[in-house]
Amino acid sequence: MIKFLFKGIMNDRSRSLLPIIVVALGVALTVLLHGWITGVLGDSIAMNASFNSGHLKVMSRAYAKDDVQMPNDLALLEADTLVNKLKSDYPGLDWVQRIRFGGLIDFPDEKGETRAQGPVVGWAVDLFTPGSTEIDRFNLKGSILDGKIPTKPGESLITSDFATKFKVKTGDTFTLFGTTMDGGMAFRNFTVAGIVRFGSSVLDRGAIIADISDIRKALGMEGAAGEILGYFDNGVYDDRTATVLMNDFNEKYVADKDEYAPQMIRLRDQGGMAEYLDISNAMGGIMVFIFVMAMSVVLWNAGLLGGLRRYNEFGVRLALGEEKKHIYLTLIYEGLLIGSIGSVAGTMVGLAASYYLQVVGLDMGDMMQQSTLMMPTIVKTRITPTAFYIGFIPGVFSMVLGNALAGIAIYKRSTAQLFKELEV
């Protein structure tokens, strides 16, 4: 009987073509959107984790209360000791020290007078230690447009838009003005070792990256770190494990009432990341639900029209001794077959489009000039194993549901009525 139904589907284009097109279209969109959202949210989460949140972050309790303001006067002291303890207690993560800071940057002219000034956000990371993971984490090698990664004290990187705006080139010098850890004025001269473009408007508008040892000297933070970030060795955030580690760490300091005692938080506890993660996780289900509903309505109507057209066939089949229930079931089987064919076609189209956008990406830089979200300007899809099957859920389910709803009409007509419609 399946072979018989399959022949019917293949031979009767008016029965199968529109539903297959609808299913394929919906499935392709589902796969593409899934890849898009996974890519956009995934890249945003990864970028945020790399630059700001880590998978886990340790700060002083006082710093944690206002960490958006980067209050380095509340930074962790003796950070090396704490990092060593973290490495010992939680060996499955890479623990790194960071100082995030804000300040004013001053570019001099050839006479040493101020040529241009602007606010800047800075990252102090470990650039000099051989084997430092931070260079890869910030994708510095891939992001550098001109010059090189700093290799000695007094060198820094600045971001591309910033460099363009202030007409800065590699080898130029600038002065960083900031605030020391104890509230004094800080300034230090740097040479532009390289210009980088991270592909995120928020970063590229105005940021510098320097080695943490230089910034410690500039801001009077010897032995201190604003934040200690932990990254899972496999590079993938695991909320469950992060929660266990966070609880374990914080448990050790429950009795310590010092406001400078360390406190650990997870990626999801930081700046809207919980919503990002939840949306990222729920988006597959949401999309499947939306497409199931939308396609079911279309396919229900297609099924009704097809059913009306096929009343003659149903009448013949009843006359030949087929039960209504069996006819109804064959409609469901047809739905499964058409849904599967459409889903395979749609998945292939969706994957092809996703792959293209994964390789080439879509430059949304112009739209994100004023964006405050840390996300890439070239948005790329990401093909995950889920993309290979997620389209089958709305594809097959909506087709079966559409046919099931349309097929109810068979039960509403009496056998004699159906038979009369044969117009014998």
Partner 1 sequence: MQNSEIIKIENLTKRYHMGENDFTALRNINLTFSKGEFTGLVGPSGSGKTTLLNIIGSLDNPTEGNAIVLGNSVSELTHKQSAVLRNYHIGFIFQTYNLLSVYTVFDNVEFALLLQKHTVAERQKMVMEALDWVGLADKAQSKPAQLSGGECQRVSIARAMVKRPEIVLADEPSANLDAANSHHIIQTMKKLNRELNTTFIFATHDEKVMQYLDRIIHLKDGRIEKDLIMPDSKTESHVSL
Cβ distance to partner 1 smaller for residue 7 or 252: 7
Closest approach of partner 1 to the CB of residue 304, in Å: 19
Smallest separation, CB 330 to partner 1 (Å) = 10
In b/e form, how buried is each residue of 162-194, taking b as 16+ CB within 10 angstroms? bbeebebebebebbbbbbebeeeebebebebbb
Instruction: Considering the complex, state which of residue 316 and residue 344 has its C-beta at the smaller distance from partner 1.
Output: 316
Smallest gap from Cβ 410 to partner 1, in A, equals 12
Least CB distance to partner 1 at residue 404 (A): 19
Which lies closer to partner 1 via its Cβ, residue 13 or residue 141?
13
Between residues 128 and 419, which has the closer beta carbon with respect to partner 1? 419
Nearer to partner 1, 318 or 401 (CB): 318
The distance of closest approach from Cβ of residue 273 to partner 1 in the complex, given in angstroms and rounded to an integer, is 55
Residue closer to partner 1 (CB basis): 115 or 324: 324
Q: Shortest approach of partner 1 to residue 21 CB, angstroms? A: 18
If the CB atoms of residues 17 and 145 are measured against partner 1, the closer one turns out to be 17
Nearer Cβ to partner 1, position 3 or 111?
Answer: 3
Give the shortest CB-16-to-partner 1 separation in angstroms: 10
CA–CA gap between residue 304 and residue 130 (Å, rounded): 69
In the complex, the smallest distance separating the C-beta of residue 29 from partner 1, rounded to whole angstroms, is 30
Shortest spacing between CB 309 and partner 1, in angstroms? 11
Shortest spacing between CB 351 and partner 1, in angstroms: 32
**SS3 of the chain:** CHHHHHHHHHHCHHHHHHHHHHHHHHHHHHHHHHHHHHHHHHHHHHHHHHHHHCCEEEEEHHHHHCHHHCCHHHCECCHHHHHHHHHHHCCCEEEEEEEEEEEEEEEECCCCCEEEEEEEEEEEECCCCCCCCHHHHCCHHHHEEEECCCCCCCEEEEEHHHHHHCCCCCCCEEEEEEECCCCCEEEEEEEEEEEECCCCHHHHCCEEEEEHHHHHHHHCCCCCECEEEEEECCCCCCHHHHHHHHHHHHHHCCCCCCCCCEEEEEHHHCCCHHHHHHHHHHHHHHHHHHHHHHHHHHHHHHHHHHHHHCHHHHHHHHHCCCCHHHHHHHHHHHHHHHHHHHHHHHHHHHHHHHHHHHHCCEECCHHHCCCCCCCCCEECCCCCHHHHCCCHHHHHHHHHHHHHHHHHHHHHCCHHHHHHCCCC
Give contact residues for partner 1 (rule: CB under 8 A): 1, 4, 7-8, 11-12, 15, 312-313, 315-326, 415-416, 419, 422-424
Identify which of 368, 364, 314, 29 has the alpha carbon closest to the alpha carbon of residue 205. 368
* 39 vs 303, beta carbon nearer partner 1: 303
If the CB atoms of residues 11 and 370 are measured against partner 1, the closer one turns out to be 11
